[in-house]
Amino acid sequence: MAGQKGSAVDIVVFGVVQGVGFRPFIYRLAHDLGYKGWVKNIGFGVEIHLEDQKQTDFQGFLQALRRNSPPLAQIEETTVKPASFTGREHFEIKKTKQEESFVFISPDISVCENCYTEMMTPSDRRFQYPFINCTDCGPRYTIVQSLPYDRKKTTMKSFLMCPLCRKEYTDPLDRRYHAQPVACPTCGPQVRLLKSKTCKEIEGGIQKAAALLRKGKILAVKGLGGFHLVCDALNSKAVARLRTIKERKRKPLALMAKDLKTIQRFARVSQEERDMLLSQRRPIVLLRKKKDIEGIAPHLDEMGFMLPYTPLHYLLLQDFDLIVATSSNKKDAPIMKQEDEGIDELCDFILTHDRPIHMRADDSVMRVVGRQPLFVRRARGYVPYPQPVPEALHSPHHILALGGELKDTISLYKNGYIITSQFLGDLDEYQNFQYFEETIHHLTKLFQIQPKMVVSDLHPDFHTTRYAQKLKIPHLKVQHHFAHVLAALIEHKYPVGKKVLGVSLDGYGYGEDGTAWGGEFLIADYIGYERFVHFASIPLPGGDLAAKQPWRMALAYLMEAYGENIPTLEAFQKVDPKMIKGVREMIKLHIQTSPVSSCGRLFDAVSFLAGLSPVEMEFEAEAPMRLEAAAADRIRGKYGFEIADHRISFKRTIRAIVEDIRQGVPVSLISAKFHNTLASVIVRVAQRARAIYGIDTVVLVGGVFLNKKLLESASKALESERFHVLRPVRYSPNDESISVGQIAYALMSLLDVDSNAPDKRENQVKKMSGQKPNQP
Ligand SMILES: [Zn+2]
Ligand SMILES: [Zn+2]
């Protein structure tokens, strides 16, 4: 009854608040406090109208909204405005018109406490049911086929709800109100245990599966984003067999432990690491070894642990402490999501179920550095969480960025937000390229994105670059190391127009001059960059082979430092002398050698010289990872280096390392001193940048900064010189973030400096469509 006295407010909440039980939460909150009004979804958030007949400021409501919001909700911003009192009689959840919203989808989230308790309560109707979930937990991203987020548009569509489930689903006061994957033993998915050879079902379900693991069998277990290959982690024979099947001799295997206590038996766990392990996103966290487990992470000082995240995992680990849980894929191919993708060749038994996986997603992997995550791989649990963009860069256009080639992701831009895909792998593998195409198709459909512009790397031979050319829309190209820096700038909402020193260190990226870059110090802002200082180029003998066989780089560095008369070192005894002779000739005569300024290759060389690297690496960064693992803590010493003519030369460093090796200095010390040397190089260049450009912010990006020791020592050294250090926290510093940086570049290009008027931006796009591809 309008005209009555009372108070009212309109509240808008921005962020990931749709499809996460936010409206029913608001409904219950308003109900409890006796307020009338309504809540509805709008683009990017929800709008709430509250009324009360008494004079009130609604502060209690606002506090509860911030403090008790559902676990899956991510509130970016809340605005509150006074509204007029209309005398409403109820509080209601208003229906959403589809075209109004750009709906964010929640990532997949581990089973919540309430559901876990129910699952463990014998009297509960979902006792021991492996698909229990509610609005606060369960699968999301991996089961959504299209939007709006509704059961009909998920892989749960074929399961008809029983009356009890339907009652929960339709009751706004129930915690399963509109929980799309809601299910129970009567109406929901069921587990099946299959013999892999015959695909015949066998009796016993999860309990039998656990018994098989105890006998040393290898199982494929269907999770959220794909199958894991699982075996008893403490049975070294089973682990060795799993390695043979997966064709992985040394690459670390992830572990899933029953509980935190089990993890603490084998690894040191800090407070922050504990929080990360227990977080609902349930990443794999790399932890310092306390008690080594044979065959899990040979030659390294860390093991990757995670806690169970689906009800099925919990049930499997009920009386089992520790399992290997590694992605089920054939070498370099994407994680498998269906039984018919060849899973039977990788295991003895298959523990599967009939809720299909729509989108593949690997487990996320991280380290904790300085209390914050450092993503090694960003996927399940974090995707597709949106990244807000600084307002100055907003554009009305949709953008698609394709990333690089290795460790690829794609990113999409719409209405002020970037959405980045899960890790897609190396696109020179055909199956991964299919996965890449599948993901573009899925995400553009899901978020209703019609790209007006596509962005790729500069490299003319990348599959992504060719894919971009075929789209026949304006196409921008961005240099690899610049894209790394841009990704960090946009993640931290760094202001437009301010310059930073971007320290972009990695294995390889195509440079503006057509050579391979990878030890780059760029003076950069959103508009462009200057190659301020870089590692002196070194010949890469044998191209791709040199990236796999660190001894080749070690030889190249030795010849650079000593000329013809290189010293004899024990490390080279592992290598065929004929091969060494051949490579020396190659370097001398410049045959099949191309110059690289890569930091990754320097790590390879030093790791090999120190006797830590294998002759051939099995996986990327194996040699650098061993070098890092060997480094002693709390060492202050470092080696010399030279900076002249914008180039950093490591001749002195190499000579000093060789001297240390000959003197019998322990590898742990050599490695620590090498890490300190690089930190000191970074500080020295930063001081130059400050002197010349007045720059105080240093951005640390590129795959090399997955190295915790280097990241920590460089950050510390920079901070003690009063530099402000930025590094990726929401994204990986490695090539997974290239697509994010590409979006930033496109947004800057779309920005008309004189005016933000949409018509002018339109012209800008048209102008770009006529542009020739930016061939270096
Ligand atoms: Zn739950
Ligand atoms: Zn049911």
- What's the 353 CA to ligand 1 centre distance in angstroms? 19
- What's the 182 CA to ligand 1 centre distance in angstroms? 10
- What's the 183 CA to ligand 1 centre distance in angstroms? 11
Q: What is the DSSP track for 699-758? A: EEESGGGG-HHHHHHHHHHHHHTT-EEE--SSS-SSGGGHHHHHHHHHHHHH--SS---H
User: How many other C-beta atoms lie within 10 A of the C-beta of residue 714?
Assistant: 29
- What's the 140 CA to ligand 2 centre distance in angstroms? 19
> For the chain, give me the number of helices (H) and strands (E)?
22, 31
Decide if 17 contacts 46 (C-beta within 8 A).
Answer: yes
Helix (H) or strand (E) holding 79: strand 74-82
- What's the 343 CA to ligand 1 centre distance in angstroms? 30
Ligand nearest to the CA of 188: 2
Report field, pTM of the whole predicted structure over 0.85? yes
| 733 alpha-carbon distance from chain centroid | 9
pLDDT at 472: 93
- What's the 152 CA to ligand 2 centre distance in angstroms? 16
- What's the 312 CA to ligand 1 centre distance in angstroms? 14
In the numeric block, which tokens belong to residue 9? 């407010």
- What's the 254 CA to ligand 1 centre distance in angstroms? 25
pLDDT at 98: 57
Ligand nearest to the CA of 117: 1
pLDDT at 102: 63
In the numeric block, which tokens belong to residue 214? 């105890």
- What's the 139 CA to ligand 2 centre distance in angstroms? 17
Quote the CA–CA distance of 603 and 562 in Å, as a whole number. 19
- What's the 163 CA to ligand 2 centre distance in angstroms? 7
In the numeric block, which tokens belong to residue 430? 């055909």
What Cα–Cα distance (Å) separates residue 453 from each residue in 190, 433, 446, 699, 741?
Answer: 44, 21, 18, 27, 14
Helix (H) or strand (E) holding 78: strand 74-82
- What's the 127 CA to ligand 2 centre distance in angstroms? 13
Ligand nearest to the CA of 110: 1
- What's the 149 CA to ligand 2 centre distance in angstroms? 20
Residue 167's identity, in one-letter code, is K
- What's the 133 CA to ligand 1 centre distance in angstroms? 4
pLDDT at 331: 78
pLDDT at 4: 62
Ligand nearest to the CA of 280: 1
Ligand nearest to the CA of 109: 1
- What's the 125 CA to ligand 2 centre distance in angstroms? 9
Decide if 308 contacts 200 (C-beta within 8 A).
Answer: no
- What's the 259 CA to ligand 2 centre distance in angstroms? 29
Dihedral of CA 115/120/121/125: which sign?
A: positive
Decide if 389 contacts 116 (C-beta within 8 A).
Answer: no
Q: Give residue for tokens 């010289």.
A: 609
In the numeric block, which tokens belong to residue 652? 């002195």
pLDDT at 759: 45
- What's the 450 CA to ligand 1 centre distance in angstroms? 35
State the number of CA atoms in the 13 A half-sphere of 769 facing the CB: 12
Residues with a beta carbon under 5 angstroms from ion ligand 2: 162, 165, 184, 186-187
**Burial class of residue 485, CB neighbours in 10 A (0-12, 13-18, 19+):** buried
For the chain, the straight-line distance linking the first and the last C-alpha, in angstroms and rounded, comes to 70
- What's the 114 CA to ligand 1 centre distance in angstroms? 6
Q: Is 471 left (phi over 0), alpha (psi -120 to 50) or beta?
A: alpha
Q: What is the DSSP track for 586-622? A: HHHHT-SEEEE--HHHHHHHHHHHTT-S-SS-SSTTH
In the numeric block, which tokens belong to residue 495? 């202001």
- What's the 415 CA to ligand 2 centre distance in angstroms? 38
Helix/strand/coil (H/E/C) assignment for every residue in 217-256: CCEEEECCCCEEEEEECCCHHHHHHHHHHHCCCCCCCCEE
Beta-carbon contacts of 308 under 8 Å, excluding residues fewer than 6 positions away, are 110, 256, 258, 282, 314, 316, 317
Question: Which residues in the chain come in under a pLDDT of 70?
Answer: 1-4, 96-102, 752-776
- What's the 169 CA to ligand 2 centre distance in angstroms? 10
What is the four-CA torsion angle of 630, 632, 637, 640, rounded to 10 degrees? Answer: 10
**Residue 629 phi/psi, 5° resolution?**
-60, -30
- What's the 126 CA to ligand 2 centre distance in angstroms? 9
Ligand nearest to the CA of 310: 1
Quote the CA–CA distance of 454 and 228 in Å, as a whole number. 34
- What's the 162 CA to ligand 2 centre distance in angstroms? 4
- What's the 134 CA to ligand 1 centre distance in angstroms? 4
Q: What is the CA radius of gyration of the chain?
A: 28
3-state secondary structure of 438: helix
Residue 292's identity, in one-letter code, is D
Decide if 446 contacts 105 (C-beta within 8 A).
Answer: yes
- What's the 164 CA to ligand 2 centre distance in angstroms? 6
Dihedral of CA 476/481/483/489: which sign?
A: negative
- What's the 136 CA to ligand 1 centre distance in angstroms? 5
- What's the 159 CA to ligand 2 centre distance in angstroms? 9
Q: What angle do CA 200, 350, 179 make, to 5 degrees?
A: 110
Quote the CA–CA distance of 209 and 202 in Å, as a whole number. 10
Q: 290: closest CA among 270, 275, 320, 306?
A: 270
Decide if 126 contacts 119 (C-beta within 8 A).
Answer: yes
Ligand nearest to the CA of 183: 2
Ligand nearest to the CA of 189: 2
Decide if 526 contacts 486 (C-beta within 8 A).
Answer: yes
